Amino acid sequence: MNSENKFLPISKQDMEERGIEQLDFVYVSGDAYVDHPSFGHAIITRILESHGYTVGIIAQPDWKDEKSITILGKPRLAFLVSSGNMDSMVNHYYVSKKHRQTDAYTPGGEPFKRPDHATVVYGNLIRRTYKDIPIIIGGIEASLRRMAHYDYWSDSFKRSILLDSQADLISYGMGEKSIVEIADALDSGIAVKDITFIPGTVYKTKDISGIYDSVTLPSYEEMKETPARYADSFDIQYKNTDPFTGKTLIEPYPNGQFLVQTPPQPPLTTEEMDAVYALPYMRTYHPSYEEKGGVPAINEIKFSLISNRGCFGGCSFCALTFHQGRTIQVRSHESIIEEAKLLIQDKDFKGYIHDVGGPTANFRHPSCQKQLTSGVCKNKQCLFPSPCKNMTVDHSDYLELLRKLRALPGVKKVFVRSGIRFDYLLADADDTFFKELVEHHVSGQLKVAPEHISDAVLRKMGKPENAVYERFVKKYYKLNDASGKKQFLVPYLMSSHPGSTLKEAIELAEYLRDLGYMPEQVQDFYPTPSTVSTVMYYTGIDPRDKSKVYVCKNPHEKAMQRALIQYRNPANYDLVMEALKTAGREDLIGFDKKCLIRPRKTADYGKNGKNGKKEGNTYRKNVASGKEISAKKKKKTIRNVHRKK
């Protein structure tokens, strides 16, 4: 069998070559077909294959052509549908709602190869073509829109994606266990409408009389009418994301219909994680994409290793709690090293492993032992507002793994580019890992995510207070000095998060001024489905304590908050000036070293006289560029400009 035939079938010809008359499942994906374990469609299809089911893939079908969904014929058991590795709306649009011009998950980076709300569109396309076939939806888009939710792009409150897609069942979360149970149930002859007993699923019904130990959420109509009720509902959902303590949730809809969410699937054991990553992936994109230059997304992950999943960090703007859960699941050292050896054999490998991590790189075990039997705490976070006294802080296993990897023949460097949770790092009394991170695993600069410096905003973000970040910075540079390194920190910062007014945005600008640093990139808060921050954005209420939250929704104010973080950028001068005046902070406009910008009117002082005009223009350029000039030169310039006038 040649390498091309080792990919799963994408055409009738592929099926014929394998002697398959009818596939058990057809997987419809919004992403191009990349057979790599960083892609959800690859994991789910390979798992089903390993359990004896035949699976074909229709990648990025033409949703305007109903025939595009029929190229593999009608599957025996079901269609599986996913928008891809990203929510299709996040994939398509910037936070400004302007369309992105490239798509890393499409051959050649070409945009517009999937529809908006792809899971809904694909589901309806299938339902129009095959009236009675079961449709199972999953992936990040379906998972995070599984119950009624706020949709930022339409600025509306939407029903569960299960209803709008006309699908029969949602497999939410990572789905490895639930998809096999669904497949086995369908294969045994159980009708899809009767599959109501599998953890990690959502189904629709008009009869809830047989459901026990459940919690009924506010109805869709009630939440749509009163957004504060959505905050109440989300709080209940957030407290029921743990497989050990989570209840069955019921969401009422009009006409006597109910959405029922079963508790999450159990976390994978290390052995189960190892089995997932040992499946026979081709580890690249389908060769049919070669003429378009391949799929750009592979470049980010081709020489990286996933060591864990799940996150107990609890950031308000992150949806990991709803998708992967708070319980850390890890692969064994042996599994990761075996994959590393495959990377080393790749003809394009240059000796550099780009990353060893996951959602949070330095989480390699549950935050405390009780999580494995009793689940995570419903009303407490492991790290926020400060590390829990019961938390186990230990980097020794991760350190041992990194040492083994960098000792492999052919490996020059092993980098850590996934997020490092710096408060967890500081909580470790043993500095050995931190020292070796600095000495061996930073590629010139370490990316960290303080997100903001205002403690008021950080509390809404679920992040540690700024003093913790400052301690981390000092320690990082101290360790760099001790090892003779000159490596830098690149802090990720976020503008206009709920709770941030112009006052807090100016505080952040002043902090950056004192650091002498202007970030090249700034992330404006993006309200994506199923995050605490998005609930705050929509309702103006923090669902955790029901307190009111200031929300910046005005596009112009958002632009001002963003501009303040990059106040030295000449293009931002007008916005920064307006922001400072609006906030009553004209004290930051002037010539003192504490000022953010200089007054523009000084640029006109030289309009009379040749020399005055020249000096005025020079000064205007300096004002616009933020270029520093010496105090002596500044004084002379101002004096000469005034003299000419």
565 CB contacts (<8 Å, ≥6 apart)? 493, 495, 505, 508, 509, 512, 518, 519, 522
Q: What is the distance between the alpha carbons of residues 249 and 235, in angstroms, rounded to a whole number? A: 12
Work out the burial of residue 19: count CB atoms within 10 Å of its CB; fewer than 13 is exposed, 13-18 middle, 19 or more buried: exposed
Task: Please report which helix (H) or strand (E) contains residue 330, including its range.
Answer: strand 329-330
Residues in the chain: 645
Which pLDDT score, from 0 to 100, does residue 601 have?
67
Residue for token digits 């957030």? 238
Vertex 247 angle, CA 77 and 546, to 5° = 125
Average the pLDDT over 125-147 and give the result: 97
Q: What would the mean pLDDT of 314-324 be, rounded to a whole number?
A: 93
For residues 334-363, average pLDDT:
96
Mean pLDDT of 18-30: 97
Average confidence (pLDDT) over 349-371: 94
Residue 614 has pLDDT above 50, yes or no: no
Whether 115 shows a pLDDT value over 70: the answer reads: yes
Phi and psi, residue 432, nearest 5°: -55, -45
Mean pLDDT of the 29-42 span: 98
pLDDT digit string (tens) for 158-190? Answer: 999 999 999 999 999 999 999 999 999 999 999
Q: Where are the beta strands (DSSP E) in 244-342?
A: 248-253, 257-261, 284-285, 304-306, 308-309, 329-330
Q: Quick one: what percent of the chain has pLDDT higher than 90?
A: 88
Helices marked H in 94-226 — which ranges?
A: 118-129, 139-144, 161-164, 176-187, 220-225
CB 312 within 8 A of CB 326: yes
pLDDT of 632 strictly over 50: no
Rounded Cα–Cα distance for residues 414 and 146 (Å): 38
Q: How far apart are CA 78 and CA 26, in angstroms?
A: 7
What percent of the chain is modeled with pLDDT above 70?
92
Contact (Cβ atoms closer than 8 angstroms) between residue 100 and residue 91 = yes
- Burial (CB count <10 Å: 0-12, 13-18, 19+), residue 334: exposed
- pTM for this structure? 0.90
pLDDT by residue (tens digit) across 325-346? 999 999 999 999 999 999 999 9
Contact at 8 Å (CB) between 417 and 357? yes
The continuous run of DSSP H or E covering 251 comes out as: strand 248-253
The answer to whether 537 and 551 are in contact (CB under 8 A) is yes
Tokens for 257? 């219909």
CB 301 within 8 A of CB 37: no
The CA–CA distances, whole Å, from 480 to 382, 436, 476 equal 29, 10, 6
Q: Are 156 and 227 in contact (CB under 8 A)?
A: no
* DSSP category for residue 39: S
- Does the pLDDT of residue 641 top 60, yes or no? no
CB atoms within 10 A of CB 58: 22
Supply the mean pLDDT for the chain. 92
In this predicted structure, what is the pLDDT of residue 145? 98
Task: State the pLDDT at residue 384.
Answer: 93
Could you give all domains of the chain from N- to C-terminal order, each with its CATH number? 3-199 (3.40.50.280), 303-443 (3.30.750.210), 446-568 (3.30.750.200), 600-644 (no CATH)
pLDDT at 645: 33
Contact 328, 311 (CB under 8 A): yes
For 88-99, how does the pLDDT look when each residue is reduced to its tens digit (9 = 90+)?
Answer: 999 999 999 999
Token pair belonging to 138: 């999953």
CA distance readout (Å), 491 to 37, 149, 465, 497: 29, 31, 15, 16
- pLDDT tens profile 53-94: 999 999 999 999 999 999 999 999 999 999 999 999 999 999
CA 176 to chain centre: 20
φ, ψ for residue 524, nearest 5 deg: -75, 140
- pLDDT score recorded for residue 370: 86
| Residue 301, amino acid | I
The enclosing H or E element of 573 equals helix 573-582
C-alpha distance from residue 518 to each of 490, 515, 565, 569, 621 (Å)? 10, 9, 7, 9, 19
| pLDDT over threshold 80, residue 22 | yes
Q: Is the dihedral of CA 510, 515, 519, 522 positive or negative?
A: negative
pLDDT digits (tens, 9 = 90+) for 467-518: 999 999 999 999 999 999 999 999 999 999 999 999 999 999 999 999 888 8
Band (606; pLDDT cuts 50, 70, 90): very low
Main-chain phi, psi angles of 80, to 5 degrees: -110, 135
d(C-alpha 246, C-alpha 266), whole Å: 11
Of 28, 10, 122, 113, give the one whose Cα is nearest residue 66: 122
Contact 635, 628 (CB under 8 A): no
pLDDT tens digits along 408-442: 999 999 999 998 999 999 999 999 999 999 999 99
Residue 373 CA neighbour count, 13 Å, CB half? 2
Alpha helices in 145-225 (DSSP H): 161-164, 176-187, 220-225
Rounded distance between C-alpha atoms, residue 525 and residue 518, angstroms: 18
Identify the pLDDT of residue 589: 96
